[in-house]
Amino acid sequence: KAGVTQTPRYLIKTRGQQVTLSCSPISGHRSVSWYQQTPGQGLQFLFEYFSETQRNKGNFPGRFSGRQFSNSRSEMNVSTLELGDSALYLCASSSKGATRETQYFGPGTRLLVL
């Protein structure tokens, strides 16, 4: 079974632009979570989607948004990029999103904001 895939793997943007990242979960998984990883803040939870509905949200500004499609693929969008948004963005999937389930991570998208 194929793992979690994320596209693109690398992105370079400039301040003020917006960006969209994509995540395809493991086949059959319906829950997708997004995390931001930076050297200063470590790994922080952004949001979780299940069956096209946002089920949980972390403490990030409204510039960070996401959505999930009927095939469980998820996208996250960051508008009006700031230098501090430079990070590795990881998505993770699980079958139903139940807390007893393990989350499986994708390879991440590395975003650099100049």
Partner 1 sequence: AQTVTQSQPEMSVQEAETVTLSCTYDTSESDYYLFWYKQPPSRQMILVIRQEAYKQQNATENRFSVNFQKAAKSFSLKISDSQLGDAAMYFCAYRSGSDTGRRALTFGSGTRLQVQP
Instruction: Report how far apart, in Å, the C-alpha atoms of 88 and of each of 53, 60, 62, 112, 113 are.
Output: 24, 15, 19, 9, 11
In the complex, least distance from residue 49 CB atom to partner 1, rounded to whole angstroms = 11
Contact pattern from residue 15 through residue 44 relative to partner 1, giving x for each residue in contact according to CB under 8 A and a dash for the rest: ------------------x-x------xx-
> Does 103 contact partner 1 by CB under 8 A?
yes
Which of 14, 18, 56, 77 touches partner 1 by CB under 8 A?
A: 56
The DSSP string of 67-109 is EE-TTS-EEEEE-S--GGG-EEEEEEEESS--TTSPPEE---E
Q: Which is nearer to partner 1, 48 or 85 (CB)?
A: 48
In the complex, least distance from residue 25 CB atom to partner 1, rounded to whole angstroms = 14
Per CB under 8 A, the segment of 16-24, 65-73, 79-87, 105-113 that binds partner 1 is: 105-113
* Residue in the block written with tokens 């991570």: 105
How is residue 61 annotated by DSSP? -
Count CB-CB contacts under 10 A for residue 57.
13
Site for partner 1, rule CB under 8 A:
33, 35, 42-43, 45, 48, 55-56, 58, 88, 90, 92, 97-100, 102-108, 110
